[in-house]
Amino acid sequence: MGTLFALLISLDVANARGPGLPNVMVLATGGTIAGTGASSTTVVGYTAATVGIDTLLNAVPELKTVANVKGEQVFQIASENMNNDYWLKLAKRVNALLAQDDVDGIVITHGTDTIEETSYFLDLVVKSRKPVVIVGAMRPSTAISADGPINLFNAVILAGSEEAVGKGVLVALNDQINAAREVTKNNTSTADTFRTPELGFLGYMQGNKPYFYRQSTRRHTADSEFDVSNLETLPQVDIVYGYANMNRVAVDAFVAAGAKGIVHAGVGDGSLARPAVEPALDEARKKGVVIVRSSRVGNGIVARNGEAKDDEHDFVVSDTLNPQKARILLMLALTKTSDTKEIQRMFYTY
Ligand SMILES: NC(=O)CC[C@H](N)C(=O)O
Query: For residue range 55-74, what is the model confidence (pLDDT) as tens digits?
Result: 999 999 999 999 999 999 99
pLDDT at 80 over 80: yes
Q: 220 C-alpha vs ligand 1 centroid, how far in Å? A: 26
Choose which residue among 113, 115, 138 to substitute to test ligand 1 binding: the one with the highest number of ligand atoms within 8 A of its C-beta: 113
Q: Does ipTM come in above 0.90? A: yes
Per-residue pLDDT tens over the stretch 330-350: 999 999 999 999 999 999 999
Domain layout of the chain by residue ranges: 23-223, 237-349
Amino acid residing at 124: L
Q: pLDDT per residue over 173-207, tens digit each?
A: 999 999 999 999 999 999 999 999 999 999 999 99
DSSP assignment of 229-272, as one string? TT-S----EEEEE--TT--SHHHHHHHHTT-SEEEEEEBTTTB-
| 31 within ligand 1 shell (Cβ under 6 A) | yes
pLDDT digits (tens, 9 = 90+) for 271-287: 999 999 999 999 999 99
Given CATH 3.40.50.970, say whether it is the number of domain 23-223.
no
Domains 23-223 and 237-349 share a fold: yes
Kindly compute the dihedral angle of the four CA atoms of residues 221, 225, 230, 234, in this order, to the nearest 10 degrees: -90
Please work out whether the CB of residue 95 comes within 6 Å of at least one atom of ligand 1: no
Contact 97, 134 (CB under 8 A): no
Give pLDDT tens digits for 12-21.
Answer: 344 456 579 9
**Residue among 47, 76, 77, 80 to mutate when testing ligand 1 (max atoms within 8 A of CB):** 80
Quick one: fold of 237-349?
Rossmann fold (3.40.50)
| Tens-place pLDDT, residues 246-259 | 999 999 999 999 99
Q: Give the 3-state secondary structure of residue 185.
A: strand
**Among the listed ranges 42-46, 77-81, 100-104, 155-159, which one has the minimum average pLDDT value?**
42-46
Q: Please give the distance, rounded to the nearest whole angstrom, from the Cα atom of residue 100 to the centre of ligand 1.
A: 30
Q: Which residues are catalytic?
A: 32, 112
pLDDT of residue 17: 60
Quick one: pLDDT at residue 305?
A: 83
Fill in the amino acid letter for 110.
H
309's CB contacts (< 8 A; 6+ apart) are none
Measured CA to CA in angstroms, residue 150 lies from 66, 136, 144, 174 at distances of: 13, 10, 13, 8
